């Protein structure tokens, strides 16, 4: 069962993803996915979890690079109809116990959407499931589309880059790759700490327990 905060956030994002406005507004993420693959020298057959997979655009690029992607998203209606990917419906601060591990994590323009008191819990869960490293890009400014589309903000944890670097540093080794245009986001690469990564279960087991989809997304709601 989702807690009250999770249920409220799920309902909010399912409202946001209804219709096409937010889909048009969402920033492209394919180039960041490509850069992550290149920076880590990711190899075909390695695994990546996209935390906050949205429209599955990064997952498409990861698959083109030969990686095996899995998505996590709070909203059941975020991924486009017919997208050939597997997405598990869950909150980032309460990930399914059997999820992971994966070689890489990808979390772009998502972590700032969480309530501030859930950020550490989410980062701990991601770090515990990441063998090698990945890319986490927090937004640094208030959002405009939430107030315009549904009358409430989407960015709930708006902090400077230094705050995010400190928070991520509790769970990963952090490489600061600078800021995006107008300082809207911090581009942060993370590497797993040996004393943080925890073997939860095999990614292969997670895939075996999920019906593969070639013509439509599979969404499994968290029990």
Average pLDDT of span 158-182: 95
pTM over 0.85: yes
Judge whether residue 190 has pLDDT over 80: yes
Q: Where are the alpha helices (H) located in the chain, listed in sequence order? A: 4-17, 21-25, 30-40, 57-64, 119-127, 145-150, 161-169, 203-208
Average pLDDT of span 138-146: 94
Among the residue ranges 33-42, 159-168, 209-218, the one predicted with the least confidence is 209-218
> What's the pLDDT score for residue 195?
73
3-state secondary structure of 79: coil
The structural domains of the chain, with segments of one domain joined by +, span 4-221
> What's the pLDDT score for residue 76?
93
Which has more confidence, 210 or 59? Answer: 59
Which has more confidence, 20 or 131? Answer: 131
Average pLDDT of span 28-42: 96
pLDDT tens digit sequence for 78-106: 999 889 999 999 999 999 988 979 999 99
Residue among 186, 19, 210 at smallest CA distance from 108? 186
Contacts of 54 (CB under 8 A, 6+ apart): 26, 73, 78, 79, 110
> What's the pLDDT score for residue 201?
47
The backbone torsions φ and ψ at residue 217, rounded to the nearest 5 degrees and listed phi first, read: -70, 145
3-state secondary structure of 26: coil
Distance CA 190, CA 107 (A): 11
- Distances in Å between the Cα of 182 and the Cα atoms of 29, 166, 179 are 17, 22, 8
Sorting pLDDT into bands at 50, 70 and 90, what band is 160? Answer: very high
Distance CA 218, CA 214 (A): 10
> What's the pLDDT score for residue 198?
65
Judge whether residue 33 has pLDDT over 50: yes
Domain 4-221 has CATH 3.40.50.150: yes
> What's the pLDDT score for residue 199?
55
- Distances in Å between the Cα of 55 and the Cα atoms of 26, 31, 71, 80, 124 are 9, 15, 10, 6, 24
> What's the pLDDT score for residue 138?
97
Which has more confidence, 217 or 86? Answer: 86
The backbone torsions φ and ψ at residue 16, rounded to the nearest 5 degrees and listed phi first, read: -65, -40
* Count of helices and strands (H, E) across the chain: 8, 8
Judge whether residue 189 has pLDDT over 80: yes
> What's the pLDDT score for residue 167?
97
- What average pLDDT does the structure give for the chain? 88
């Amino acid at each position: 069962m989702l807690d009250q905060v999770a249920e409220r956030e799920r309902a909010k994002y399912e409202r946001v993803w209804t219709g096409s406005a937010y889909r048009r507004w969402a920033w492209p993420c394919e180039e960041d996915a490509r850069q992550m693959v290149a920076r880590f020298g990711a190899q075909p057959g390695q695994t990546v979890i996209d935390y906050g997979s949205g429209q599955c655009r990064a997952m498409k690029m990861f698959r083109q690079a030969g990686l095996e992607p899995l998505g996590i998203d709070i909203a059941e209606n975020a991924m486009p109809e017919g997208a050939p990917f597997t997405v598990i419906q869950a909150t980032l601060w309460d990930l399914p116990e059997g999820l992971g591990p994966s070689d890489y994590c990808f979390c772009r323009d998502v972590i700032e959407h969480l309530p501030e008191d859930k950020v550490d819990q989410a980062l701990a869960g991601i770090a515990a499931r990441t063998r090698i490293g990945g890319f986490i890009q927090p937004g640094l400014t208030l959002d405009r589309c939430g107030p315009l589309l549904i009358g409430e903000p989407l960015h709930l944890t708006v902090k400077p880059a230094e705050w995010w670097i400190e928070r991520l540093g509790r769970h990963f080794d952090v490489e600061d790759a600078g800021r995006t245009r107008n300082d809207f986001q911090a581009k942060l690469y993370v590497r797993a700490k040996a004393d943080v990564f925890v073997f939860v279960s095999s990614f292969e087991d997670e895939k075996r327990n999920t019906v593969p989809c070639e013509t439509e997304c599979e969404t499994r709601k968290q029990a």
